[in-house]
Amino acid sequence: MSSKEWPLWEVFIRSKQGLSHKHVGSLRAADAQMAIDNARDVYTRRSEGISIWVIESKLVTASDPDESAEFFEPSESKIYRHPTFYNVPDGISHM
Amino acid sequence: MTTQEAFYNYIVRLGDDSLILGQRISEWCGHGPILEEDIALTNIALDLIGQTNNLYELAVSIENKGKNIDQLAFLRLEKEYSNLLLVEQPNVDFGYTIVRQFFFDVYRKLVFESLCNSTDERLAGIAEKSLKETKYHLKHSSEWVIRLGDGTEESHRRVQEAVNTLWKFTDELFYQDEVDQNVIELGLGVDNSIFKATWNTHVEQVLTEATLTIPTNSWQHTGGRKGIHTEHFGYLLSEMQYMQRAYPNMEW
Amino acid sequence: MSTKNIEELEREFQAKIDADIKIEPNDWMPEGYRKTLMRQISQHAHSEIVGMLPEGNWITRAPSLKRKAVLLAKVQDEAGHGLYLYSAAETLGLDREKSIDDLHSGKAKYSSIFNYPTLTWADMGTIGWLVDGAAIMNQVPLCRCSYGPYARAMVRVCKEESFHQRQGFEIVSLLANGTPEQKQMAQDSLNRFWWPALMMFGPNDDNSPNSAQSIKWKIKRSSNDELRQQFIDVTVAQAEMVGLTIPDKDLKWNEARGSYDFGTINWEEFNQVIQGNGPCNKERIDARRNAKENGAWVREAANAFAEKRKKKELTH
């Protein structure tokens, strides 16, 4: 007999067709099926969703916030990846 | 008995089942075994109270005597309530609550499935909405029966005890009298005798998966449909009716 | 590991806060910030959960089907809010069940208001009107709190809570305009809950030692006294509108301040209730502890079943 707690699950909800699943919070459940059921009761009481994903929190791998400078800042200088970097002569449309 | 009377009684029976079970489940609010389950049980209670509302609205419009649904819910005498004995049984523990719910859900799903074809459009509409809710209740109660039955030794023992105790109220699910015969003839209500076998098969299948057994020797109790209840019912009513009895004819 | 020293980290941290950049779970944060948040979020979560009880009391006695459904939905929301908040606290490494055990042992606190009894149906109205009203005043600024998960939880809570105060006021105004018995019931209820509701904002600012730091960290966005005054100023008019009397003989409009002056709060009562000597402290905690203890076999069964299933899947 185990007296340990139910594991923690992260909940993602698709609010309507055409949108991606979005993280909404977490909850406790003994298994995946229960996690889905609980997510339905906890996070969609006001018709917030049409589809639910759950994943055990311990299975999520996250980037390290201490490395965020070397991770994310280098892309900031690569402004040529954005369309606003380029000059288009006046009068040109559909571009 | 006129058709109108029969149909009225038939709808009140359906509504009483929802109300009394809803009242029982709502006793859990704030006391569930874990927060998530507290929320789940309250959702079930809310569905049942919603069904009561819709069914009583239909009942008072059939009766057409200017009564409102709260008079129906709160101001009848004990013998005027016609709910199944099963639904008035006390919560006892989470195991009893789940087994009671499971027996009822299997039955209710069959009832609403058939009522979707009622010749009365209003009832068919209520059935369609309630069926969706009931399917979810059944999923929830079935999963829990299996978890508890095939969980630990203690949970198995508790939930088997609940099955043994509540089994004696299951024949009443298929009770029929002149009310039913009247509404069956006109296609307004359902002939619940035809799905007794389906109910048995379904229940047996889930209980087997849960490693639980059906008691072999069990004398069956009926009476609820005729207004003869178990001792528990009076207490439930005195609590539920308290405000309407203590402060008659007021708006809340 | 970061090579920066603690002063540098703290300076960067405060700069982020000042620039309204949210702090997220794995970011570096001062220990004091983490501890304050853990305490505040878990207290807040406990308040939601204990807060289910005084109202849950009346679900089975609600006077109409409509009121029964509304009250069920409201108390259920409180369970949900507790859950969102415990989730936010878990992101700081605070285990939910451990934190609940602290509540049960008396180590953790919760809002003092829930230690008062609900004696009549009118209390369902007054709680919605005053207690949720006070809570909303506290909570709306927290939607901008510096800690991301807490702020997000509060956005959800506030969105859901908007119906709570309205349904309460609806009950109160119905009673206040009802029969003499109903009006009396509403007035009695207001008399019992007015002062405890004012205490919900916490001690006066001079006696609230952690407030300044919390405001600097943007964990708290307004002071206790500011919020209390704001609450009184909006509520007095509402009471007048429905013809109920606020039980404070010193309550008077102060033209110069543009606010109401009000009587002295009985802080001795507040302290006693916080220390566990309120009318229902024991009942509330006992009810929560019983729920947890009586549910232990259910939670264990679900765990055992999940493990069995996992093994079955592996062998197949």
Here the tokens at position C175 are 């009673």
> To 10 degrees, the CA torsion angle through C20, C22, C28, C30?
60
pLDDT of A69 strictly over 90: no
**Pairwise CA distance, residues A92 & C5, whole Å:** 54
A58 vs C211, more confident: A58
CA of A31: which chain C residue's CA is closest? C306
Task: Write the CB contacts of B118 (distance below 8 Å, at least 6 apart in sequence).
Answer: B124, B127, B187, B188, B189, B190
pLDDT-derived band at A94, boundaries 50, 70, 90: confident
Look at B39 and A37 and tell me if their CB atoms are within 8 Å.
no
Across the interface, of C28, C76, C309, the residue whose CB is closest to A31 is: C309
Domain-wise residue ranges, chain B: 3-212+222-246
Which stretches of chain A sit within 8 Å of chain C by CB?
Answer: 1-6, 8, 25-28, 30-31, 34, 42, 45-46, 62, 64-66
Chains near C, with 3+ CB pairs < 8 A?
A, B
Chain A partners within 8 Å of C293 (Cβ): none
Smallest Cα distance from B148 to chain C, Å: 6
pLDDT tens series, chain C, 316 aa: 557 899 999 999 999 999 999 999 989 999 999 999 999 999 999 999 999 999 999 999 999 999 999 999 999 999 999 999 999 999 999 999 999 999 999 999 999 999 999 999 999 999 999 999 999 999 999 999 999 999 999 999 999 888 999 999 999 999 999 999 999 999 999 999 999 999 999 999 988 877 889 999 999 888 999 999 999 999 999 999 999 999 999 999 999 999 999 999 999 999 999 999 999 999 999 999 999 999 999 999 999 999 999 998 888 7
pLDDT-derived band at A2, boundaries 50, 70, 90: very low
Look at C79 and B158 and tell me if their CB atoms are within 8 Å.
no
The whole model's pTM is what? Answer: 0.95
Spans in chain B with pLDDT lower than 70: none
Provide the 3-class DSSP secondary structure of residue C23.
Answer: strand
Chains near B, with 3+ CB pairs < 8 A?
A, C
The overall longest dimension of chain A from CA atoms, in Å, is: 76
Q: CB–CB of C300/B155 below 8 Å?
A: yes
C147 forms bridges with which residues in the sheet? C23
Q: For residue B203, how far is the Cα from the chain centroid?
A: 16
C-alpha distances in angstroms, C183 versus B54, B111, C66, C177, C186? Answer: 31, 45, 20, 7, 5
Q: CB–CB of C124/C198 below 8 Å?
A: no
pLDDT-derived band at A1, boundaries 50, 70, 90: very low
Long-range pairs of C56-61 with CB within 8 A, sequence gap ≥ 24: C56/B29, C56/B30, C56/B31, C57/C118, C58/C118, C58/C121, C58/C123, C58/C124, C59/B26, C59/B27, C59/B29, C60/B23, C60/B26, C60/B27, C60/B239, C60/B240, C61/B239, C61/B240, C61/B242, C61/B243, C61/C121
Across the interface, of C24, C153, C306, the residue whose CB is closest to A30 is: C306
**Pairwise CA distance, residues C303 & C309, whole Å:** 10
**Pairwise CA distance, residues B167 & B164, whole Å:** 6
pLDDT-derived band at A3, boundaries 50, 70, 90: low
pLDDT for position C4:
80
Q: CB–CB of C291/B32 below 8 Å?
A: yes
The amino acid that residue B240 corresponds to is: M
Cβ contacts from B onto C, under 8 A: 140
Q: For residue B202, how far is the Cα from the chain centroid?
A: 17
First-last CA distance in chain B: 35
Q: CB–CB of B10/B189 below 8 Å?
A: yes
Nearest to C235 by CA among C158, C157, C135: C135
Provide the 3-class DSSP secondary structure of residue A80.
Answer: helix
C119 in contact with B at a CB cutoff of 8 Å?
no
The domain B3-212+222-246 is placed in CATH, from the list 3.10.20.30, 3.40.50.10140, 1.20.1260.10, 3.40.50.1000, at 1.20.1260.10
Here the tokens at position C41 are 């979020």
Smallest Cα distance from A64 to chain B, Å: 31
**Pairwise CA distance, residues C76 & C89, whole Å:** 20
Look at A29 and B36 and tell me if their CB atoms are within 8 Å.
yes
Smallest Cα distance from A29 to chain B, Å: 8
Structural domains for chain A: 2-81 (3.10.20.520)
CA of A46: which chain B residue's CA is closest? B43
The overall longest dimension of chain C from CA atoms, in Å, is: 80
Write phi, then psi, for B16 (nearest 5 degrees): -65, -40
ipTM higher than threshold 0.90: yes
Could you give the count of Cα atoms lying within 13 Å of B162 in the half-sphere of its Cβ? 27
First-last CA distance in chain C: 44
A56 in contact with B at a CB cutoff of 8 Å?
no
C83 in contact with A at a CB cutoff of 8 Å?
yes
C311 in contact with A at a CB cutoff of 8 Å?
no
pLDDT for position B129:
97
Look at C87 and A26 and tell me if their CB atoms are within 8 Å.
yes
CA of B155: which chain A residue's CA is closest? A1
**Pairwise CA distance, residues C316 & B40, whole Å:** 32
